[in-house]
Structure 1
Amino acid sequence: MTDSVTVPTTEPAKLMRPHAEQEYALELEALAAQDTRPRPPSWNLSPWAVVTYLLGGTLDDGTVISPKYVGPRRLMEVAVATLATDRALLLLGVPGTAKTWVSEHLSAAISGASTLLVQGTSGTPEEAIRYGWNYARLLSEGPTAGALVPSPVMTAMETGKIARVEELTRIPADVQDALITILSEKTLPVPELGIEVQAAKGFNLIATANDRDRGVNDLSSALRRRFNTVVLPLPASEEDEVAIVARRVEQLGAALELPTTPAAAEEIRRVVTVFRELRSGTTTDGRTKLKSPSGTLSTAEAISVVTNGLALSAHFGDGVLRASDVAAGILGSVIKDPVADKVVWNEYLEAVVRERGEWSDFYRACREVTG
């Protein structure tokens, strides 16, 4: 509907954060080459291959597909199967459960493009979901196809691809409801032009929502019926969470070109243990009950703490990740409420950390930054 624009491309290796379809292009090509299973209309891969891309595996020719998500296989199978139907997919969970990550990789594997994205905020207008206008052309030409600016959702409908809506419950309720006709009738009317855009086969929509935002802009029952909801949990075990953090830290370190540091397994495990204990309100051995802070202490925050620690160690330390490099990051993650959370943190330091002899360096480092 609009004039095409040629945008210069940058090599993925030079990008700070390549899109999934760029970073994992070789894996997607290998899967497509060996994928002989039935593919839904307009899909680049079969549902089986999409799940393999997400969870990892080894192909018949020996190609190793790295895992993008660590969690129950059935959840990913349900998510992918949903997108092969006429139901949209809602990924729900607390912050840091990889909702955006899974959404991006699903879109990359299915459509080869993860960039048809609407970022939900309290200020997201209806035009972001439907369409807008190039006002200079609108004034000179009136309402014409050339003056229309399609939204990512409209573009996905026209091309039979996956559209993404992030933080759906942060979008005002009247704007959310612009999706009802799109998801139920698979059409988007443009009354100014007397036309409608009908969705091509392969179109679907993935939305994410933070279940801590319930009550902000809850979905109407009419809109909720258009979604199949998959709840993404926090990592089930400490080993799973340690593996997730270690893998993402390695990837981020490479992307940011941080100087190589020795294996940081001990500090990664310590950060994960602290987060899991404070999240659950009990120590790993179950002997001590704890108060939980106001923040989520998600896996994503653990990744951030360790990555920041690596930068400190590489640029201002001796190149070895130590307790002093992660202490400040943990403090910043735990203490969101400067009064109540500081009490929780101090109690944890004295009742748990101080009593662990092998954590004496960590206790000293935390005490130094806590004050």
Structure 2
Amino acid sequence: MTTVLRPHAEDDHAEELALLAKEDDRVRPPGWKLSPWAVTTYLLGDGDRISPKYVGARRIVEVAVATLATDRALLLLGVPGTAKTWLSEHLAAAISGDSTLLVQGTAGTAEEAIRYGWNYARLLAEGPSRAALTPSPVMRAMAEGRIARVEELTRMPSDVQDALITALSEKTLPIPELNEEVQARRGFNIIATANDRDRGVNELSSALRRRFNTVVLPVPATAEEEVDIVTRRVAQLGRSLELPETTTGMAEIRRVVTVFRELRDGVTEDGRTKVKSPSGTLSTAEAISVLTNGLALAAHFGDGVLRAADVAAGIVGAVVQEPVSDQVVWREYLETVVREREDWRDFYRACREVS
């Protein structure tokens, strides 16, 4: 796995999963690798041997895990960058030992991605047969008793979304061409993610929404919580990318998080100054990206210490999505907020240079 840029969760954390499985003496739902208690411990960490994968309210994780132990599917809902995909991957890894049964939702996703397709060369040569059928990740999950993941469910066309209804309600997938069906084995379920902030969203039908329990993932409640999340992920990404040794400046991490939170919330941290919000989401995931890019700059072109100049270009690029309106918002924020902070002078100068 040393040559893999991003190992799957079940590979990257294989030792932790094996440790939990060995010590887990609680009741496991049919088809699960771990008990709900052990899955929750894997996700939140134990402060010692198990690292936290998700930083947030324990109750949110418990509700999500409990949902998957029933016959209800799970819908993770939230604004972009709230770790919906991250959480769904680790849930699937802990429950099924396999997070790869994935359908990526787009405006062009076809119904075959949910149901099944055909190997047309074999279909023409042999006619309809099991050998000519190409199962979707959902069909494989049903046959193997595993978790299937559907990313960006609301980006799919409505008729494609509704192809899930039979699988979720009847726990079966008909194959009329063969006069057969695939029945779900114990352990099968679906985790879907969705957000309503992006353009091109297709609302779920009421029939489909009834088949899901919805868990809303919030943005980090406090600056300290967000700093903790960003620090952990930046360190993990730095190791996986094998960046040269650098000194991660906590001051720069706090600045980036503070800027994102203030522009997101429309008010400064002390509540004294209102600011305009740009068009982008300025999510925690984007803050992680800005800082990871800054670490690469510091490692390869600097002195190995993360400084204001290393994050300035990335943060401007994240904030200024619309060239005209966002540029006005950013300049106003620089001049009315950043410039007035005595200990932010280097950050102000760096941002001015790239703006």
TM normalised by structure 1 equals 0.95
* Equivalent-residue separation in structure 2 for 1:145 and 1:186 (angstroms): 20
1:250 partner SS: helix
- 1:187 aligned to which of 152, 164, 172: 172
Q: CA deviation at 1:266?
A: 0.9
Partner of residue 224 from structure 1, selected from 186, 199, 209: 209
Deviation at 1:214, TM superposition (A): 7.8
1:117 aligns with 2:117: no
- 1:22 aligned to 2:11? yes
Deviates more, 1:260-269 or 1:328-337: 260-269
Structure 1 CA distance for aligned equivalents of residues 56 and 281 of structure 2: 19
Which residue does 1:358 correspond to in 2?
A: 343
SS of structure 1 residue aligned to 2:54: coil
**Alignment RMSD:** 0.9
Give the corresponding residue for 2:119.
Answer: 134
Distance, in Å, in 2 between the alignment partners of 1:228 and 1:212 is: 20
Q: Which residue of 1 aligns with 2:154?
A: 169
Q: Secondary structure at the match of 1:163?
A: strand
Give the Cα–Cα distance (whole angstroms) in 2 for the partners of residues 369 and 140 of structure 1. Answer: 61
Partner residue, 2:218: 233
Distance (Å, rounded) in 1 between the aligned partners of 2:3 and 2:45: 25
> Which whole-Å CA distance do the structure 1 matches of 2:119 and 2:113 have between them?
13
How far 1:215 moved relative to its partner?
Answer: 6.9
**Could you tell me how far apart the structure 2 residues matched to 1:215 and 1:256 are?**
33
Q: Which residue of 2 aligns with 1:64?
A: 49
Partner of 2:301: 316
Assess if the C-alpha contact under 8 Å between 1:295 and 1:336 holds in 2.
yes
Q: Determine helix, strand or coil for the equivalent of 2:20.
A: helix
- Say if 1:351 and 1:123 are closer, same or farther in 2 by CA, change over 3 A: same
Partner in structure 1 of residue 25 of structure 2: 36
Q: Return structure 1 stretches of 4+ with deviation > 6 angstroms.
A: none
Give the distance between the partners of 2:40 and 2:280, measured in 1 at CA.
32
Q: Deviations over 1:64-120 (max 9, x none)?
A: 100000100000000000000000000000000000000000000000000000000
Which digits, 9 at most, give the CA deviation of each residue in 1:189-241, with x for residues without a partner? 00000001000011000000012148721000000000000000001111111
Matches for 1:287-306 after TM superposition, within 5 Å: 287-306=272-291
Question: SS in structure 1 opposite 2:128?
Answer: coil
Figure out how many residues of one structure are paired with residues of the other and give that number: 355
In 2, the alpha carbon distance for the partners of 1:338 and 1:171 equals 29
Assess if the C-alpha contact under 8 Å between 2:106 and 2:152 holds in 1: yes
In 1: Cα distance, 2:83 partner to 2:155 partner:
18
Deviations 1:251-284 (A, max 9, x none): 1001101011113211111100000000000000
Query: SS state of the match for residue 48, structure 1?
Result: helix
State the secondary structure of the residue aligned to 1:216. coil
Structure 2 residue 39 is the aligned partner of structure 1 residue 50: yes
Counting only pairs closer than 5 Å after superposition, residues 242-281 of structure 1 correspond to structure 2 as 242-281=227-266
Check conservation: 1:169, 1:213, Cα contact below 8 A: no
* Identical amino acids, percent of aligned pairs: 76
Letter in 1 for 2:205: S
Task: Report whether the alignment pairs 1:368 with 2:315.
Answer: no
Question: In the alignment, which residue of structure 1 is the partner of 2:332?
Answer: 347
Name the SS of the counterpart of 2:215 in structure 1: strand
Q: How do 1:320-335 and structure 2 match up within 5 A?
A: 320-335=305-320
CA contact 1:334–1:341 (8 Å) conserved in 2: yes
Partners of 1:153 and 1:49 in 2: CA distance: 25
Q: Is the 8 A contact 1:169 1:214 kept in 2?
A: no
2:188 matched to 1:203? yes
Q: Deviations over 1:24-47 (max 9, x none)?
A: 000000000000000000100000
Gaps of 5+ in 1: 1-10
Contact 2:155 2:200 in 1 (8 A): no
Give distance in 2, aligned partners of 1:211 and 1:74: 23
